[in-house]
Structure 1
Amino acid sequence: MNTDKPLQFRVGTFGAFIAPIIFIAGAIVYFVVFKAFDTTALTTAGIVGIVIAGVFTKEYTRFWDSVIAGLSNPIAMTVVMILFVVGPLSSLLESTGVSEGFVWLAAELNVTGGLFIAVVFIACCAMSMATGTSLGTMFTAFPIFYPAGAMVGADALLLAGAIFSGAMFGDSLAPISDTTIVSASTQRYRRREGSAEVAGVVGTRAKYALTAAGISMVLFLVLGNIAAPPAQGGSVDASGYSPLGLVMLLPVIALIVVAFWKRNLYLAITVGVISGTIVALISGLITPKDIMFVEDGSPSGFLFEGIDGMLPLIGLSIAVFGMIGIVREAGVFEIIINALSRRPWTQSARGAEAAIAVGQTITTTMFAGVVGPSIVPFSVIADEIGARASLHPYRRANVMEGFAAGIACIVPSFSAFLFIISQLTTGVEGMPAISPITVAFVSFYPIMFSAVMIFSIITGWGRRFESANGVPVKRFEDIVPEILSEPADTASAYPAPATRG
């Protein structure tokens, strides 16, 4: 592709937004107007949007090359492969009655309503911290916890929000999370060689993430108890439910251990599927034909159903990443970067952090709320703006993450996560399909994570500057003598003392 200039449209830069606008319009029509929660229909809107946008381009071949470039991005293919490999495990957990086991356990412990939702949130936080992936946690946790919500008096909407919130907690904090690694490795030191260390970023980020998680847990507990119908607020009737399904927690534990030990999600999921199949066969929860079978010319079994169930989401991913390729080739991200970097207020510490917050929010929203891919293109400007204000690489990484994994990933009609939640809650007996519009407002952890970071930017809580040899210091004044004593080409990367903000 010719990368000397942006992809050109007959209607100017607006042409880059034609496909996303049609996609969003389709989401509104299907989900809001007709309340038809069909992911394949949404994929259709995205593909139609891409085709129509192609009509307005001046470089038709390059336009489609940009679509393919979006699809061939390693992160895009990572998402697709995660969906493929996690599908059978999700299907296995759903078909072996593990949720029934949780209903039995909830009855024994008298865990109902809001308390159940709070416990699920904590469990998902632990799971996502160990696996380092929000998608993997969602596809593992929804089949376990969401069906059980019907019998323990849990509000369906809040329960879905709790599962998603727990998944995002680990994705934003786990040392093995791709978003943690990307946010750290893209922020370079200016006073020594190298980039921000993952361990240092996690250590400084923990106070923000844990504060947001603590507030979220209280909200889920309190609102969950308020939303639980009084008739279901007492003991749970678990008659007819067996605890046998709880043995399927063994492969889940094996998955978590391997993910933490080997730092490889694919290996962890493989171990989960194999060990889960063995445990289910030994315990009698499934028979050999439940693995893969053909009856009357129709394939069945959890392997087939798991892959088949992922195809609508994979189609949606293809449409979304294709649109991202168009937006990137049209130079939209460069426009955002240049607009932010030219503003005088970005020279102060607080102003630089605000610019990073705004820019990362816009970029992540345009990337359909997918955190990792959105950090990569914006990290360059965050690194530059932050360095000009002498912000420590840890601080830059944390501000980026606070808004990429915050409100930007739950913008209604934009977020791929919300559509995935709608898909995972469809067809669950006794529980409603959750609208991707409404679940955004009860996804408390992303909301609180950004709120905590906004508070941090305003008050300076946790703000650190880069001193000699990359040492983080609290006061800007402590590094001024060092800046003034450095050669001009080095000192120019830092602001004058009056701009500390």
Structure 2
Amino acid sequence: MKKGNPWALIPFVVFLVLFIGAGVITGDFYIFPVIVAIAISSAVAIAMNRKEPFAKKVEIFCQGAGNSNVMLMVVIFLLAGAFSSVAKGMGAVDSAVNLALSFVPQNLLIVGLFIIACFISLSMGTSVGTIVALAPIGVGISEQTDFAVALVMGAIIGGAMFGDNLSFISDTTITAVRSQGAEMKDKFKVNFWIVLPAAIVTSIILGWITLGETAQVEHLSYSWIKIVPYILVIVLALIGINVFLVLALGIVLAGAVGLADGSYHIMNLIETIGEGMAGMYEMAFLAILIAGMVEVIKFNGGIDFLLQLATRKIKSKKGVEFSIAGLVGVTDLSTANNTIAILITGPLAKKIAEQYGIEPRKTASLLDIFSCSIQGLLPYGAQLLVAASIAGISPVSILQYAFYPILIGISGICAILVGYPRKKKSFN
């Protein structure tokens, strides 16, 4: 390892000053376009190190941006966006929500909302999309009962973060897996058994808090066939089918269902696919720009400095895992975006993990769990802001009911302490 250079981290500082500074000054942490902040920071990274020719620094940036893992990530982002958009457009989300609500006991509606949010977010791969779909239903339930609207929103946000952390088409999962070189199904299995206790305990807490309360939900229509594309994607991904094929089959099946029931005609199906891909353009370009910037920072010695700093007092693998968890958590606090937090800390986490022999499936899980835990607790994060806006309340009021985000953080800590998962014998 070459000597670290703390000055090489200036582009990170520039990004945080631009992004957080604009948020503090205006009160809106999303007013400064994150892609512009990253572009400016990338320019600063390239401008540094005057000893190297400008053309060489640009070449280094492009090599990082065009890394095969980054390009794979970009293509998966686009396919995931297309599948999510096509499935939603033909009514899969509405059918899944209505089906679940039809089977939920009236005295367990809040627990049911949490579980429904878990399934929808696991299927859609987006926590914000899940909140947008379920929050209006939650507000209606709150109006019919004595349940505080903040409690209802807390249950929905918890379920939304469940899928954000686990879904095969979630941008956080894709980023965590690709940045660590892990297999999607391996990461899912490790991650699932870590967060399952958190989901169970959350359900128990919500059931206890709402004990004795009931609300009437009118008869809702749904179609089993519209839910099949979601189930197909989840099952095929768990089996271990290549994610490209899984998403392509999901798009074809969702599109076929939409054409068969009249939700789509050929041309507007194609338009919906295009719109879904377009919705992921910003995330795709963020991945490319951040990868290029990190490569230049790495060349200038910044990553080595962080690596030396992060591992200076580490004496065990557990210490390494806590360092990775802390790094991604602090980055998420700074950026208010768990995907960007993983994109930024992923390369460093991979280097640390390789140095101490930690499996990619474990580091991918750590990155995803702790970034989602922090994200679900940020009053200036997109999830709480969207829910609070729909419910007409302060995002801070929801925090007292943020059971699941807190519990997945605790579950992640417990997994580190007990050494789960055990190392595979085949891992080198």
Give me the TM-score of the superposition, normalised by structure 1.
0.61
Residue in structure 2 matching 1:407, options 366, 370, 373: 370
Q: Secondary structure at the match of 2:318?
A: helix
For 1:21, the aligned partner's letter is: L
SS at match of 2:215: coil
| Higher helix residue share | 2
Matches of 1:57 and 1:93, distance apart in 2: 48
Partner of 1:354: 319
The DSSP-based 3-state class of the residue aligned with 1:46 is: helix
Q: Which amino acid in the other structure matches residue 105 of structure 1?
A: L
State, as a whole percentage, how many aligned pairs show the same letter: 16
Q: Which residue in 2 is equivalent to 1:120?
A: 116
Partner of 1:85: 79
**What is aligned with 1:381?**
352
Q: Which residue in the other structure is 2:68 paired with?
A: 74
- How far is 1:362 from its partner? 1.7
Unaligned runs of 5+ in 2: 143-151
Shift of 1:144: 6.6
Classify 1:273/1:316 alpha carbon distance in 2 versus 1 (closer, same or farther; 3 Å).
Answer: same
Distance 1:16 1:53 in 2: 5
Please point out which of 122, 125, 147 is paired with 1:138: 125
- Aligned pairs, how many? 395
Please say if residues 158 and 405 of structure 2, whose CA atoms lie closer than 8 Å, have aligned partners that are also in contact. Answer: no
Give me the whole-angstrom Cα distance separating, in 1, the residues matched to 2:397 and 2:295.
Answer: 29
What's the CA shift string for 1:127-181, capped at 9, x where partnerless?
47xxxxxxxx514x8657742442253744642442222331467xxxx988579
Rounded to whole Å, the distance in 1 between the matches of 2:281 and 2:397 is 24
Contact 2:66 / 2:288 at 8 angstroms: preserved in 1? no
Change in Cα spacing, 1:49 to 1:444, as seen in structure 2 (3 Å) is farther
Q: 1:274 offset after TM fit, Å?
A: 1.0
Q: For the Cα contact (< 8 Å) 2:113–2:155, is it kept in 1?
A: yes
**Where in structure 2 are the equivalents of 1:180-259 lying within 5 Å?**
208-218=194-204, 234-238=215-219, 242-244=221-223, 246-259=224-237
2:159 corresponds to 1:162: yes
What is the root-mean-square deviation in Å for CA atoms of aligned residues?
A: 4.8
Kindly state the Cα deviation for residue 267 of structure 1 after the two structures are TM-superposed. Answer: 0.8
Report the CA distance shift for 1:435/1:234 in structure 2 as closer, same or farther (over 3 A).
Answer: closer
The CA deviation at 1:249 is 0.7
1:280 CA drift (Å) = 1.4
Higher RCO (CA < 8 A, seq sep 6+): 2
Q: Using the TM superposition, give the Cα deviation of residue 279 of structure 1 relative to its aligned residue in structure 2, in angstroms.
A: 1.1
Partners of 1:323 and 1:441 in 2: CA distance: 38
1:147 aligns with 2:110: no
2-side partners of 1:182 and 1:37: how far apart? Answer: 25
TM-score of the pair, normalised by structure 2: 0.70
Aligned equivalent of 2:274, options 288, 304, 316: 304
- Residue 37 (structure 2) pairs with residue 45 (structure 1): yes
| C-alpha deviation, 1:365, in angstroms | 5.4
Contact 1:405/1:446 (<8 A) preserved:
no
Partner of 2:410: 451
Shift of 1:84: 1.2
Shift of 1:82: 1.8
Task: Give 1:284's aligned residue.
Answer: 262
Deviations 1:255-307 (A, max 9, x none): 23332345211111111111111111212223334324xxxxxxxx3123222
1:314 aligns with 2:284: yes
SS of match in other structure, 2:33: helix
CA contact (8 A) 2:237 2:243 kept: yes
Q: Quick one: structure 1 residues 381 and 321, their matched pair in 2 at CA, closer, same or farther if it must change by over 3 Å?
A: closer
Contact in 2 for aligned 1:98/1:144 (Cα 8 Å): no
Hey, what does 1:479 align to over in structure 2? Answer: none
Aligned residue for 1:286, secondary structure, equals: coil
- Residues 13 and 166 of structure 1, relative CA distance in 2, 3 Å threshold: same
